Structure 1
Amino acid sequence: MLITTAPDGTEVRATDEGQGPAVLILHPGLDDGRSWEKVAARLTARHRVVRLHRRQYRQDLPGPATIPQEAEHVLAVAREIEPPILLVGHSSGAVVALESLVAAPGTFSGAVLYEPPVVIGDPLGGPGGEINVRARQAIAAGRPGRALRIFIRDTVRLPAWVAFLAGVFAAVSPWLRPLVPHQIDDNEALDRLGVRLDAYAGIQAPVLLLGGDRSPAHLGERLDALARVLPRAERVVLHGQGHSAHASAPGEVAAVIERFAATFEG
């Protein structure tokens, strides 16, 4: 375990495994880093793999957190790691990765961004944040499963049956249920950040944009928008995969990360 302190005095925690050039992983929503265990296990033979427990999803810290506050935790961990550091972000964690690249140019040798839901037009929470409002109302009514169903159906835009099953699972899972309000916090934080494509155009580190051909179309559109502005962007498509390839095809995801890391590790 790697434990350090952010500039605002909050404790930063990350799982720290393996030896070699560093890979710093920022997990997606509804998680604490555990969902990337299978990918990490495939990387640790040749890499030091550090999985940050993102501030937004820490039950022991006051929240909600802003994206800049989350980036402060990323950079606090980076200061404890010998370069080169490859930054890997998934979903909202990939947006935190982008903001970390903007905040501290030169800190990271490169980044792999797996389907970041960057705002490119309308808010993720819909006009006036109405999706988030409905999800908040469900949480206030003691129905986290319904809140998650709203988020997955209306923000992630997965099929209704997928959203229904996720909602059922959240309603009965003692691990997942407490994370649902944090997911809505996360969505609202992304919307408050707004459109940041102009800022991302200044990122000089090489960036690999990763996506699945079975993911919701809007995630591909967001990758397209990033590809147009990032000076050193490369696109990789995971065929037959969606937004959860880290779980369904961890070997394939690890291989993509390793190939990209090799380009600047010498």
Structure 2
Amino acid sequence: MATYDSIGGTYAHTRRPDPRIAARIHEALGDAATVINVGAGTGSYEPSQTVLAVEPSSVMIAQRSAGSAPALEASAESIPVADDSADAVMALLTVHHWSDLEAGIGELRRVARRRIVILTFDLEMNHGFWLLKEYLPEAAAFDERRAVPVERLVALLGGARVETVPVPHDCTDGFLASFWRRPEAYLDPRVRAGISLFAQIGDGHLQPGLTRLSDDLASRRWHRRHADLLEREALDVGYRLVVADV
């Protein structure tokens, strides 16, 4: 499987944090005075009280903006900091990349004094998204091998509340389903390079489905089939905040 050292080179450009999603994440963090971001990537959504970022990819760390929290090159499964190091720990769209989920969640619980906030996706809802269901079912099949059921996260955390995070139609963060009302974006290789699922599979396997999408956009078939989406301001495509007090 490709790593972020090979697929993460464009993240700072294609994965710009969306302020509405940022507000939901920061609200979930509550009044935490110190935050550690695990699987931090380029630093999207880090609040001002972030004291440390933990990220295994040097390529991602190199794209962090000047003045952001110091970054430690390490994995979620083994975080080299003391117990109870921060009020809150956050892990955003990262748990499905971990090699040992139980170890990673154990580390989050060890490091957090008060709260853990995880942004993840509901597999069933995410795979009902029109792009995967109608055009790229092979990508959905690949995703099944790495996705983490939300219920499993809740159990490993010893209980948590789960909040729906709708995606705005003009979302600035280019994750998998963010272009649900802008289908032409998926034809742009730069956009696909910023979506880990597609970058890991490779365009060779995606091209037949992308060709069908291109044809359906040109004929307006997609627009007729999904006319209901064109009037929506936001959509629930399965993204979830899992918030646990420890």
Task: Please indicate the TM-score interval, normalised by the length of the shorter structure.
Answer: 0.3 to 0.5
Higher relative contact order (CA 8 A, sep 6+): 2
Task: State TM-score, norm by structure 2.
Answer: 0.36
